[in-house]
Amino acid sequence: MDRIALEGGTPLHGDIPVSGAKNSAIKLMAASLLTSEPVRLTNMPRLADTRLLGRLLQRFGTSITESIGDDGQETLLHTPEITSAFAPYDLVRQMRASFNVLGPLLARTGHAKVSLPGGCTIGARPVDLHLKALEALGAHIDMHEGYVFAQAPRGLKGAEIEFPFVSVGATEHALMAATLAHGTTVFHNAACEPEIVDLAECLNAMGAKVSGAGTPTITVEGVAALKGTDWSVICDRIEAGTYALAAAMAGGEVRLTKVRPELIGILLDKMRQAGCEITTGDNTVTIKRGPGRLKAVDITTEVYPGFATDLQAQFMALMTLADGESTVRETIFENRFMHVPELSRLGASIAVQTGGEAKVTGVDELRGAQVMATDLRASACLIIAGLAAKGETIVNRVYHLDRGFENLEGKLSACGAKIRRIKGDTPVEEIDE
Ligand code: UD1
């Protein structure tokens, strides 16, 4: 298993280009199943998760061609016919979002058998809302032996659907299915994340009739068929936020490019409150941090446009060295503090309290140690902490990072970070040479 070794204490200077959003790319790939024509996705991030989903789509009859174009990596997905509507456990368990193939398969063929998902270990993460929405669209759902069997032999039917609470995955899933339903579907209490807008706009480019995406009420007029399109994946606001926080932690001056600053507005406000100097341009964000300590700032994770849960761990890393005590409240996922014991190994002072709250008391310094990445965003937080820790930090299990961050060590080392990947199972003794 690969590891990442970091030598902390070097300020970062340079540009970091932000990649296409993982959380959008994987939904857009699933949406390509809705049409028999080719869909070309550009600005695609090169990640373990997109490769994995590609393997799953190939089982359904999708041909995938990758190339490099003017807008980064291009992935051409073409499913002239669904040759199998079966998604096996082995592939779905490795990435929760691959469960979202269920809706498109069902909408296009009238049936699907998809394993229940696994995914990051950040709480229970059920899929009940996804299934209820598909049932409301007229699907007949059975579950046995860990599989969902869904059928709608005469097609899906438009419906009025009120989500009991906001779910990004369920909104995206049901939205895709509704594009090919007979009649009109109205979603209430839908998620408003930018990735949902990206998906809806891509679906519209494919001939769907979706309006209201980005607001809590989305209306979809079903159409008989969708066509192919070219679509550029929206920038990854979580990756952008992670590098912004890395720059704030290490110090120096970093300019993020290919980014939409408004997508990380709340984060940038919090970073300014903490004492970072931030300037934004059309597609750039510059983060500057001089010597001296940052101030402690509180955050509460919320649905978009609130503070993203996917940036909570990284912000907590920044607060470990801030002056004073900050409160980090997690309201989206239970059990999303698994990075706390690992940050403590580096010398952080954090007390997890009941009710999804953690108190971070800034310490004078972090010291390098061996740590374990427990999930995707937690891995990023350990990298951020390692950038400021004295001595060497070794992050184990970086396969989590590879799921969601394209060329992380390349991007950071281009800005002067002392970071390198240790391939395979190299014993620790050899690493120190
Ligand atoms: C997506 C993102 C993830 C991000 C999250 C919140 C992808 C691949 N993942 O995850 O990175 O952290 O949004 O912005 O896009 N829930 C249920 N039943 C359901 C569905 C969800 O109880 O059927 C619960 C979840 O357990 C969680 C909450 O609803 O507590 C929000 O989950 P949701 O917005 O669905 O997150 P994901 O789509 O899984």
Domains of the chain: 3-19+235-430 (3.65.10.10), 22-226 (3.65.10.10)
**What pLDDT does 123 receive?**
55
Residue 291 has a pLDDT of 81
pLDDT grade for 428, boundaries at 50, 70 and 90 = very low
SS (H, E, C) the chain: CCEEEEECCCCEEEEEECCECHHHHHHHHHHHHHECCCEEEEEECCCHHHHHHHHHHHHHCCEEEEEEECCEEEEEEECCCCCCCEECHHHHCCCHHHHHHHHHHHHHHCEEEEECCCCCCCCCCCCHHHHHHHHHCCCEEEEECCEEEEECCCCCECCEEECCCCCHHHHHHHHHHHCCCECEEEEECCCCCHHHHHHHHHHHHCCCEEECECECCEEEECCCCECCEEEECCECHHHHHHHHHHHHHHCEEEEEECCCHHHHHHHHHHHHHHCCEEEECCCCEEEEECCCCCECCCEEECCCCCECHHHHHHHHHHHCCCECEEEEECCCCCCCCCCHHHHHHCCCEEEEECCCEEEEECCCCCECCEEECCCHHHHHHHHHHHHHCECEEEEECCHHHHHHCCCHHHHHHCCCCEEEEECCCCCHHHHCC
Instruction: Give catalytic status of residue 120 as yes or no.
Output: yes
User: Could you tell which of 28, 49, 125 is best to mutate to test the pocket of ligand 1, judged by most ligand atoms within 8 Å of the CB?
Assistant: 125
User: pLDDT exceeding 70 applies to what percent of the chain?
Assistant: 96
* CA-proximal residue: ligand 1, atom 13 (nearest): 168
For residues 401 and 399, give the distance between their C-alpha atoms in angstroms, rounded to a whole number: 5
Give the model confidence (pLDDT) of 334-346 as tens digits: 878 999 999 999 9
Q: pLDDT value at position 413? A: 97
Q: CB under 6 Å to ligand 1: residues?
A: 23, 97, 123-130, 167-170, 309-310, 332-333
Buried b (16+ CB within 10 A) or exposed e, 123-145: eeeebebbbbbbebbbbebeeee
Of 75 and 333, the structure prediction assigns the larger pLDDT to 75
431 CA to centre of ligand 1 in angstroms: 38
Ligand 1 atom, smallest distance to 310 CA: 12
Can you tell me which atom of ligand 1 is nearest the CA of 238?
11
Q: How far apart are CA 429 and CA 433, in angstroms?
A: 7
Which protein residue's CA is at the shortest distance from atom 29 of ligand 1?
167
Distance 78 CA to ligand 1 centre (A): 28
Tell me, what's the pLDDT at 376?
Answer: 86
- One-letter amino acid identity for 155? G
Counting from 1 in the atom list of ligand 1, the atom nearest the Cα of 334 is 30
Q: How many CA atoms lie within 13 A of 374 on its CB side?
A: 16
Predicted TM-score (pTM) of the model is: 0.94
pLDDT, position 118? 61
From ligand 1's centre to the CA of 312, what distance in Å? 15
Query: Tens of pLDDT along 250-306?
Result: 999 999 999 999 999 999 999 999 999 999 999 999 999 978 899 999 999 999 999
- State the closest ligand 1 atom to the C-alpha of 332, by its place in the atom list counted from 1: 30
Q: What integer pLDDT is reported at residue 430 of this predicted model?
A: 36
The Cα diameter of the chain in Å comes to: 66
Distance 242 CA to ligand 1 centre (A): 19
Quote the mean pLDDT of the chain.
94
pLDDT score, position 354? 86
CB distance 376 to 400 below 8 Å: yes
Query: What's the 168 CA to ligand 1 centre distance in angstroms?
Result: 5
pLDDT at 119 over 90: no
Assess contact for 184 and 9: CB atoms under 8 A. Answer: no
Return the best residue to mutate from 130, 168, 176, 336 for the ligand 1 pocket (most ligand atoms within 8 A of CB).
168
* pLDDT tens digits for range 165-213: 999 999 999 999 999 999 999 999 999 999 999 999 999 999 999 999 9
Give the pair of three-digit tokens for residue 76. 């051409």
